[in-house]
Amino acid sequence: MARASAPMKTPPAYAVTSVDHALRLAVVLQVEGPLTVSAAAERLGVARSTAHRLLQTLVYRDFAVQGEDRVYRAGPVLELSGRSPSDAARLRAVALEPLRALVDTLGETGNLAVRIGTTVRFVASVECDQALRVGSREGMVFPAHTVTGGLVMLAALSPERVDALYAPERFADRPDERPDLRRLHADLRAVRRLGIAVNLERSERGLAAVGRAVLDADGDPVAAVSVSMPTVRYRKERVPEIAAALGVAADAVTQSL
C-alpha cells in the first residue's frame, strides 16, 4: 500500500520576512555548513547588505560565528540544539518559579544555565522590574570560564578533567579562546572553597553576577542558578545574602527534579 504523503506546508499569512530569512540562514549553517555574505545573499535573493545584517544578528545571538576568513559558521546555540533538548526544557520548567522567588527576594535578574563542554547556555531568565537592570540572557551562549554558572559547574570537575576539556588540541583552530589554565584552576579552587562564583565584568562590561550550582539527587551539578546586576549596585557585603537566596533557589530546583 502506498504511504500517504505529508500535507504541503504553506507559509503563514503573517510571516515576517526578516525573521524567515534569519531562520533559513540558521538552518543552512547547521545543515549545510559555512556561508559567505555573498552566498547568503544569493541564497535568499537579497542585497549583500541585508544578508550581512542578518548574519551579524545571528552572530549576536550565538547562532553563528564569523572566522578570520570572514566566513560564517554554525554557532554554539546551533551546536547545542541537538543535545538533550528535553532535559533543558524540563530544567527550565521547574526553575521558573524558584527564579521568580529569587528575583522577588533580591530585586535583580535571575538566570538558569547549563554547561555542555566548554560552553554555557542560559535556558531561563527572569528579569527584575528595576529601570536599570540586566536584561534576559535566555538563549545566549558564553564560554564556561567567563560566567558564574560555568565556573561553578567546572569546579565540580577534577583538575585533570578540566585540563582535558581545555587541552590545546581542542582549540587548535581558535587558540585565542583557550583560557589561561593557571588562572582558571586558581579561580576554580576559590569556587570550591566558597561554594559560589562571583563575576565582576568578567563576561560583560558593567555586569556583576553571583552563581551557585544546582545538584541532582546524587549531588552532581546539572545546572547553575545566578543573579545578575549592574555593577553600580553590586556590594561585596551583600554576597552572603545573595548566596543564601541562591541556595534556596537551587534547592527548590533540585527538589522539583
Express each pLDDT in 1-50 by its tens digit.
444 444 444 444 445 788 889 988 988 887 678 899 999 999 898 999 99
Structural domains of the chain, count: 2
Residue range(s) defining the domain that contains residue 26: 17-80
- One domain, residues 244 and 174: yes
The answer to whether position 217 is within a domain reads yes
Alpha-carbon distance of 71 to 59, in angstroms, equals 12
Q: For residue 143, what is its C-alpha cell?
A: 564560554
* CATH classification at residue 37: 1.10.10.10
Instruction: Report whether 236 contacts 248 (CB < 8 A).
Output: no
- Residue 37 phi/psi, 5° resolution? -60, -45
pLDDT tens digits for range 54-80: 999 998 888 888 888 899 998 877 765
pTM equals 0.69
Q: For residue 89, what is its C-alpha cell?
A: 526544557
- One domain, residues 75 and 31: yes
- One domain, residues 231 and 146: yes
Angle at which helices 17-31 and 37-44 cross, to 10°: 120
- One domain, residues 101 and 66: no
The answer to whether position 143 is within a domain reads yes
Beta strands in 60-129 (DSSP E): 64-66, 72-74, 109-116, 119-126
Q: Exposed e or buried b for every residue in 63-82, given b needs 16+ CB within 10 A?
A: bbbbeeeeebbbbbbbbbee
The answer to whether position 2 is within a domain reads no
